[in-house]
Amino acid sequence: MAVDAALPSPVPLTILVADDDAGSRRIVAGMLRKAGYEVIQAENGAQAWALLQRADGPQLAILDWMMPELDGTEVCRRVRAVPTDTPAYLILLTSRGRSVDIVEGLKAGANDHVTKPADEGELLARVQVGARVVHLQHALADRVARLEEALRNVQQLQGLLPICSYCKRIRDDRNYWQQVESYITHHADVQFSHSCCPDCYERVVKPELDALEASDGDT
Amino acid sequence: MSGLPVLDHATLDRLRELNEPGEPDIVIEVLTLFLEDAPARVAAVAAAQAAGDARGLERAAHGLKGSAGNIGALRLQALCHRIEDLGRLEEAGDPMVVLSLHEEFETLRQEVTRLL
């Protein structure tokens, strides 16, 4: 089937194609590269599992069901057993089209399946769904990390702060007395820009300026 | 099964659409890979049948079925599907299926070789 020209262009993604059949790998990789994806390949389940465990490993994998050393379903189980905020999106590629097989694949941890021989349009449409899920997961994980960081900063400012009634300095955890701005700058992502409020100008600054002016007049 | 073509040229035409400028012809590549890979898969089917290994027969036939499907070898694909079912049903004892497989593969091999 020809690929639908209206499909959006793919988001940048490296895709693992794992299949012991070199011809099948060549065809699927060709479909993906033509659509603009970067492709890496594995010729058995053990290689696929090794690549998926890497910190910089692929975030989307197309796994043949029956492979030497580790079947695609076993690779799915192993990937799902590892807790992570950004799990890989797994598509099983199989000529086992019976619903009982599809259910088994999904229960093993696959996100989706494509029937062999792969139809180009269907494969790319399913890969695009996977790419969207992967990017949403990464955006969500990034947002959660930022929120956790912000929460840690807020928690540092919570609780009872011992403050001097006269000079307004704050006692920190190590029993040192710090200026308010120094304490807050250290415990939160805040920087102070020093200025003077109107009351303090009248009470402190203006008398000093007047005194300075008077002393200049005397000389 | 006799109504099916040995090699479906529409499948090969679809594969040809994947060709990229300056790259080797994907059809030639895939057919060459098939001829390199398939004899071992045929032998695996024969060995499983000879050993009465139904699970092995199902697995080997399944693999060869996928390879055949990639290049549009529809008759071989259908035969492998039948053998896979025999294995699933624990019926690994019929040597005629292996004979048919060898004949079908030889016919296909000759047609593929003509294209290379």
Cross-chain Cβ contact B37/A120 below 8 Å: no
- Tell whether A127 is covered by a domain: yes
Residues of chain A with confidence (pLDDT) below 70: 1-11, 155-159, 219
pLDDT for the residue numbered B1? 61
| Total count of domains within chain A | 2
Decide: residue A151, CB within 10 A, 0-12 exposed, 13-18 middle, 19+ buried: exposed
B105-B108-B109 Cα angle (round to 5): 85
**pLDDT tens-digit series, residues B25-71:** 999 999 999 999 999 999 999 999 999 999 999 999 999 999 999 99
Same domain, A200 and A138: no
What is the Cα gyration radius of chain A? 31
> What is the nearest CA distance from B96 to chain A, expressed in angstroms?
24
pLDDT for the residue numbered A1? 44
**pLDDT tens-digit series, residues A60-98:** 999 999 898 999 999 999 999 999 988 999 999 987 777
pLDDT for the residue numbered A5? 43
Cross-chain Cβ contact B70/A21 below 8 Å: yes
Same domain, A58 and A137: yes
What is the three-class DSSP state of B108? helix
- Tell whether A6 is covered by a domain: no
A1 vs B contacts (CB less than 8 Å): 14
Question: B26-115: which CATH number, 3.40.190.80, 3.40.50.620, 1.10.287.130, 1.20.120.160?
Answer: 1.20.120.160
pLDDT for the residue numbered A12? 73
**How much of chain A is helix, strand and coil, in % rounded to 5?**
50, 15, 35
pLDDT for the residue numbered A170? 87
Cα–Cα distance list, A152 to A155, A157, A174, B29 (Å): 5, 9, 19, 57
| pLDDT band at B105; cut points 50, 70, 90 | very high
Backbone angles phi, psi at A201, to 5 degrees: -60, -45
| Angle between helix B54-71 and B74-88 (nearest 10) | 160
Same domain, A99 and A62: yes
**Does the model's ipTM exceed the 0.85 cut?**
yes
Same domain, A55 and A94: yes
> What is the nearest CA distance from B10 to chain A, expressed in angstroms?
11
Residue A22 neighbours by CB distance under 10 Å: 19
pLDDT for the residue numbered A7? 52
Each domain of chain B, given as residue ranges in start order, spans 26-115
Domain holding A119, by residue range, is: 14-146
pLDDT for the residue numbered A140? 92
* Alpha carbon distance B84, B86 (integer Å): 5
Closest residue by Cα to residue A122 from A107, A109, A112: A112
**pLDDT tens-digit series, residues B63-98:** 999 999 999 999 999 999 999 999 988 887 788 889
pLDDT for the residue numbered A219? 62
Same domain, A101 and A58: yes
Same domain, A139 and A203: no
pLDDT for the residue numbered A6? 46
A188 Cβ contact partners less than 8 Å away, ≥ 6 residues apart: A153, A154, A156, A157
Nearest C-alpha in A relative to B33: A23
Nearest C-alpha in B relative to A67: B63
Is residue B35 within 8 Å of B109, Cβ to Cβ?
yes
- Tell whether A28 is covered by a domain: yes
